[in-house]
Amino acid sequence: MDMRVTPKKKMKLVMVGNGMAGVRALEELLKLAPDLYEITVFGAEPHPNYNRILLSPVLAGEQTLDEIVLNDWAWYKDNGITLHAGFKVTQVDRVHRTVTGSNNRGETVQAGYDRLILATGSNPFILPLPGHDLPGVLAYRDIADTQAMIDAAATYKHAAVIGGGLLGLEAANGLMKRGMQVTVVHVGEWLMERQLDKVAGQMLQASLEARGMQFRMSAQTSALVAANSGRVAKVEFKDGSHVPADLVVMAVGIRSNTQLAESMGLHVNRGIVVTDTLQTVTDPRVWAVGECAAHRGIAYGLVAPLFEQGKVLANHLAEFGIARYLGSQTSTKLKVTGIDLFSAGEFMGGEGTDEIVMSDPAGGVYKRLVLKDDKLVGACLYGDTVDGSWYFKLLREGRSVADIRDKLMFGESNIGDVGHQGQSKAAAMADSDEVCGCNGVTKGAICKAIKDKGLFTLDEVRKQTKASASCGSCTGLVEQILMFTAGGDYSATPKMKPICGCTSHGHQAVRDAIKAHKLLTTGSVFRFLEWRTPNGCASCRPAVNYYLISTWPKEAQDDPQSRFINERSHANIQKDGTYSVIPRMWGGETTADELRRIADVVDKYKIPTVKVTGGQRIDLLGVKKEDLVNVWKDIGMPCGHAYAKALRTVKTCVGSEWCRMGTQDSTQMGKDLEKAMWRMYAPHKVKFAVSGCPRNCAEAGIKDVGIIGVDSGWEMYIGGNGGIKTEVAEFLVKLKTAEEVLEYTGAFMQLYREEGWYLERTVHYLHRVGMEHIKKKVLEDEANRKALWARLQHALDGEPDPWFEFDKAHVDTRQFEPLPL
């Protein structure tokens, strides 16, 4: 039998439209299946794909046309795509499956298709006023419009922009910057009424007026009137008044461009009607994506949802067949330099909603949060938008905010406390200011990368610039920079974020599948959930391995090759490839004997650095990998797990044993906690502290679990963190006895182990699920608390010390010896 595979003839894919949504879908497709199709693209504009969102900065003279090109001519060539630029498609024959287009020189081209993408975008809506077709009357949609406006600004003085929405104001701002006197004519009572409430709209107007922009609000336009030259000269209103205008820009809205689809006999309602797979409901060979498509009755006009659609479309064209588009929530940000506003969701409120409002017109700050059933459903911010992305996240996740309601208005801002000169407003930073203190990335470098490489998402910026890619402290700043550089709606990322590029499943889905289907190995997880890669990657393998062993203790087998090196070699790798060793010192107490052994080891193995850690232990730095096993043996102390996503230290103060202020024996409590829970792997590192009185010398307020002794017992605090962003632990419960402290701490830990996502610290887990949830599971339900504590004890029972029990801990000892030559 002849087993040779004959190359399959490529299918023909034709795309009508050469805009951002369509080309993004092609990029995604080429990533998944580079050789499946012979691709032809028709684009009505004589340009390659460019970033339409950045036309406003071009108009304002802040960027040039060249700078906003996303895919240059070479990109099409390199990917074997035939591009007919300047060819408007005039006919699609669905019976013979051909697309015909012509250009303004009367030339015609035709292409056959097996599959067809309609990405025809949208058209600006032109008010049918008398005079709407006069010279000097424009829409604001593409490069040609922008160029016409720039040219007009060089010759004429007066401009009128009809429409006080996002696009209209950006056009007006651009024309003003080019020296024109601009009047914005708006039918509504306040500006941007689809994005802003009245107060914020009026604040915006006042701020634009201060820059010289003029307004005619609640204006009924009756006609556009020409001068003797034939060019438009003024805008007339129903009340008889008028404003002079040598240039009139109509920015009253856009409509899905469905003309072609209608001529093809496709079902159109607000847009080309598509299913969750972006397939048209009429013809299975035809897909639609972007502003021309109507998904569940909505035609989206912002870039992030369109990119999500592109991903889904690519998945189906690549014949993976597993992605679905489920709609998006969108947020808005005005791209007028120096004006900060943000809105998302149902910011106007309505029946059954509550509002929290902060208004400081003199200070130029206004915030309005809309809640319904204890969930955030809308936000409108003016003047201070630092927390926009946080509110947007809460809104998308739809989690109850009951427990943080009193603090909601003050925001969280996911910016760390350190690493970026204390800045919290990216707009106020200079280009030379450092944003990312880990990788030394300046604001200017980030802006440049966003513009030059056409980046739209935080992940892309992280990959390209490394900004916020290490400790993540400056994520909020990078998001802000992305917002005003790339356009407002970048953050409408899907609710569920995949673990990594190997899968479309998120952390929760993977956990749930492991539990529901009793999956016991990484291989079975990858097969069951149809991983795209044969054995995952360095991001997903450690996560999946943790979920397996935490869900099925004693049954799932730990896979050391799926662990990061520190957890494979049970020591902490250093920058020169040597390791550090931190033995466990129960509650931070040690003895002369232990210290003597440590000193002897330092001498014997010539360990260059000995350092006291912040967790009341001793760190030996610069140990050669070959020496690790003997160092552990000679020290003869238990493993400190200082390298692991596990219980690390339990910091204690001296307590009532010695301290004249002490009310409780905190050292003993700390030792008991440590002995009960050491060897406990968790989603991330875990630190405890126990203080013997409220003076809190053990700094229990910044630990994952902090216990503070008081005269009548113990107070328990959870979710503290002393790292990038100092987070003060929240009070959970007051307890009477040491046994109770063990039980409640153990139950909380087990809940975190079972529900936390990999690499999610307790503070982030707590913010995600809410304090009410923890209280319900640990405080109110006694049976559940005891069951959790019992499950943790079962999981830890007989767990090996990886420094001594190599077989049981699956330590591959071959790693410690190099292969000899």
Residues in the site for other proteins, rule: CB under 8 A?
Answer: 463-464, 533-538, 541-542, 561-565, 568-569, 573-578, 608-609, 621-622, 812, 814-815, 818-821
Per DSSP bridges, beta strands 272-274 and 293-295 are: parallel
Work out the burial of residue 95: count CB atoms within 10 Å of its CB; fewer than 13 is exposed, 13-18 middle, 19 or more buried: exposed
Select 312 or 544, whichever has its Cβ closest to other proteins. 544
Q: Least distance (Å) from other proteins to the CB of residue 562?
A: 7
Burial zone of 805 (CB within 10 Å; 0-12 exposed, 13-18 middle, 19+ buried)? middle
Least Å distance, CB 29 to other proteins, is 19
For other proteins, give the closer residue by CB, 42 or 531: 531
Please give the Cα distance from 748 to 717 (Å, whole number). 11
CB-based contacts of 335, cutoff 8 Å, min separation 6: 53, 56, 57, 170, 484, 487, 488
Please choose, from the candidates 442, 488, 447, 441, the residue with its C-alpha nearest in 3D space to the C-alpha of residue 469: 441
Q: Taking the complex as a whole, how short is the minimal distance between the CB of residue 611 and other proteins, in angstroms? A: 11
Q: How far apart are CA 698 and CA 780, in angstroms?
A: 29
Contact at 8 Å (CB) between 754 and 769? no
Instruction: Please name every residue paired with 159 in a beta bridge, in sequence order, or none if there are none.
Output: 182, 247
User: What are the tokens at 494?
Assistant: 């899907």
Q: Which is nearer to other proteins, 428 or 819 (CB)?
A: 819
Beta carbon nearer to other proteins, 331 or 578: 578
Q: Which is it for strands 98-102 and 108-112: parallel, antiparallel or unpaired? A: antiparallel
Least separation in angstroms between residue 565's CB and other proteins is 4
Query: In the complex, what is the shortest distance from the CB of residue 375 to other proteins, in angstroms, rounded to a whole number?
Result: 36
Q: Given the complex with other proteins, which of 97 and 462 has the nearer CB atom?
A: 462
Nearer to other proteins, 3 or 538 (CB): 538
Q: Taking the complex as a whole, how short is the minimal distance between the CB of residue 609 and other proteins, in angstroms?
A: 6
Are the CB atoms for 447 and 62 separated by under 8 Å? no
| CA proximity to 183, closest of 238, 247, 232, 227 | 247
* Residues 494 and 478 sit within 8 Å (Cβ to Cβ): no
Residue type, 572: N
Q: Which is nearer to other proteins, 571 or 778 (CB)?
A: 571
Least distance to other proteins from the beta carbon of 33, Å?
Answer: 18
> 592 exposed, middle or buried (CB, 10 Å; 0-12, 13-18, 19+)?
exposed
Shortest Cβ distance from residue 625 to other proteins (Å)? 8
- Which residue matches tokens 């929405």? 165
Write phi, then psi, for 612 (nearest 5 degrees): -85, 130
Q: Cβ of residue 98: shortest distance to other proteins, in angstroms? A: 38
Strand ranges of the sheet holding 572-573, from the earlier edge strand across to the other edge: 572-573, 579-581, 618-623, 609-612
Residue 534 C-beta: closest distance to other proteins, Å: 6
* Nearest distance from C-beta of residue 545 to other proteins, angstroms: 10
Candidates 294, 289, 260, 255; CA nearest to 124 is: 255
Distances (CA, A) of 694 to 212, 667, 734: 58, 15, 13
Q: Tokens standing for 287? A: 């897909």
Q: Tell me whether residue 9 or residue 814 sits nearer to other proteins (CB atom).
A: 814
* Closest approach of other proteins to the CB of residue 122, in Å: 33
How far is Cα 577 from Cα 582, in angstroms, rounded to an integer? 17
- The smaller minimum CB distance to other proteins, of residues 660 and 814, is found at 814
Kind plus residue range of the DSSP H or E element containing 189: none
* Residue number, 413 or 580, with CB nearest to other proteins: 580
**464-495 in b/e burial notation, b at 16+ Cβ within 10 A?**
bbbbbbebbbbbbbbbbbbbbbbbbbbbbbbe
The per-residue DSSP string of 617-647 comes to -EEEEEE-GGGHHHHHHHH---B--TTSSBE
C-alpha span between 25 and 21 (Å, rounded): 6
User: Closest CB to other proteins among 430 and 821?
Assistant: 821
- The tokens of 14 are what? 């034709």
Comparison of 568 and 767: residue with beta carbon closer to other proteins:
568
Pick between residue 622 and residue 713 the one whose CB is nearest to other proteins: 622
User: Considering beta carbons, is residue 478 or 718 the nearer one to other proteins?
Assistant: 478
Nearer to other proteins, 77 or 463 (CB): 463
CB of 417 to other proteins, least distance (A): 23
**DSSP secondary structure string, 690-751?**
EESSTT-TT-GGGSSEEEEEETTEEEEEE--B-SSS-BPPEEEEEESSHHHHHHHHHHHHHH
What tokens appear for 760 in the block?
Answer: 């999610």
Shortest distance, position 673 Cβ to other proteins, whole Å: 31
Q: Which is nearer to other proteins, 229 or 815 (CB)?
A: 815
Least Å distance, CB 286 to other proteins, is: 34
Q: How far is the CB of 628 from other proteins (least distance, A)?
A: 12
CA nearest to 546, candidates 531, 559, 565, 533: 559
Give me the least distance between CB of 537 and other proteins, in Å please.
5
From the list 350, 342, 345, the residue with the least C-alpha distance to 387 is 342
Residue 372 or 532 with smaller CB distance to other proteins: 532
